[in-house]
């Protein structure tokens, strides 16, 4: 857990490490087997959820580091795109990932596991790219 003495940058690095850990887990275990194996499917959904939550936290922390109050997940992404920190296409992928996370968590209208599998495979790469973009930005 973050202490009061940690800087925002340290917390961002910590969240990036968490994000990378979740993405690497997904990379190692994501296969079409999730379509038939409920335990693996639920594990992948949980790892993806946690990866997206880490990305959302990174967006909020980064925004706060720029002396702007963090807002909702989508507004925070838009803010980072507008500031030129995150490329527009990557920002769109982050918003898609957040939408998928919401569907997986709340099971809105049921979940099409085949679509979720394809989306996780595609969006995981965007999450990896995002961590690199942010870590590079922190070193500026």
Nearest to 130 by CA among 103, 99, 100, 92: 92
- Which pLDDT value is given to residue 52? 98
- Which pLDDT value is given to residue 118? 96
Residue count (the chain): 140
Convert 22-88 into a string of H (helix), E (strand) and C (coil).
HHHHHHHHCCHHHHCCHHHHHHHHHHHHHHHHHHHHHHHHHHHHCCCCCCCHHHHHHHHHHCCCCCH
Both tokens of 130, joined, read 């995002």
- Which pLDDT value is given to residue 106? 85
Both tokens of 42, joined, read 């639920």
At residue 106, φ and ψ (nearest 5 deg) are -100, -5
- Which pLDDT value is given to residue 4? 52
- Which pLDDT value is given to residue 109? 65
- Which pLDDT tens digits describe the chain residue by residue (140 residues)? 555 557 999 999 999 999 999 999 999 999 999 999 999 999 999 999 999 999 999 999 999 999 999 899 999 999 999 999 999 999 999 999 999 999 998 876 678 999 999 999 999 999 999 999 999 999 98
Q: Kindly state the percentage of the chain with pLDDT values over 90.
A: 89
Yes or no: say if 129 and 94 are a contact pair by the CB < 8 Å rule.
no
């Amino acid at each position: 857990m973050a202490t009061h003495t940690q800087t925002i940058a340290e917390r961002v690095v910590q969240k990036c490490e968490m994000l990378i850990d979740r993405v690497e887990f997904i990379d190692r275990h994501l296969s079409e087997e999730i379509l038939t194996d409920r335990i693996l499917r639920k594990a992948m959904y949980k790892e993806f959820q946690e990866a997206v939550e880490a990305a959302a936290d990174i967006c909020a922390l980064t925004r706060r580091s720029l002396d702007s109050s963090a807002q909702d997940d989508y507004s925070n992404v838009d803010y980072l795109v507008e500031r030129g920190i995150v490329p527009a296409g990557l920002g769109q992928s982050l918003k898609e990932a957040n939408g998928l996370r919401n569907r997986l968590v709340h099971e809105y209208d049921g979940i099409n596991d085949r679509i979720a599998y394809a989306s996780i495979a595609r969006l995981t790469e965007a999450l990896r790219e995002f961590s690199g973009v942010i870590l590079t930005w922190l070193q500026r």
